[in-house]
Amino acid sequence: MYGVKGNPYTDEYGRPTNGATTGPHLHLGVRIEDEYINPLSLFDLEE
């Protein structure tokens, strides 16, 4: 929705947003020797 004319979504300051943000959230990036890896690979997610 960025740059789309008539985009109805804005943040609390009136700046355009894509409408997907619903509140505070975290973007997590993990790099090993300057290469990004999937952060989920660091957790044992098997049940």
pLDDT tens digits for 8-44? Answer: 788 788 877 766 666 677 888 899 999 999 988 888 8
User: Quick check: 3 pLDDT over 90?
Assistant: no
Please report, for residues 13, 22, 47, the alpha-carbon distance to residue 18 in angstroms, rounded to integers and kept in the order given: 14, 11, 35
Say which residues have a Cβ less than 8 Å from residue 16's Cβ, sequence separation at least 6.
1, 2, 3, 7, 9, 10
Which pLDDT score, from 0 to 100, does residue 4 have? Answer: 67
Which pLDDT score, from 0 to 100, does residue 30 have? Answer: 93
Say which residues have a Cβ less than 8 Å from residue 43's Cβ, sequence separation at least 6.
none
Of residues 47 and 44, more confidence is placed in 44
Of residues 18 and 46, more confidence is placed in 46
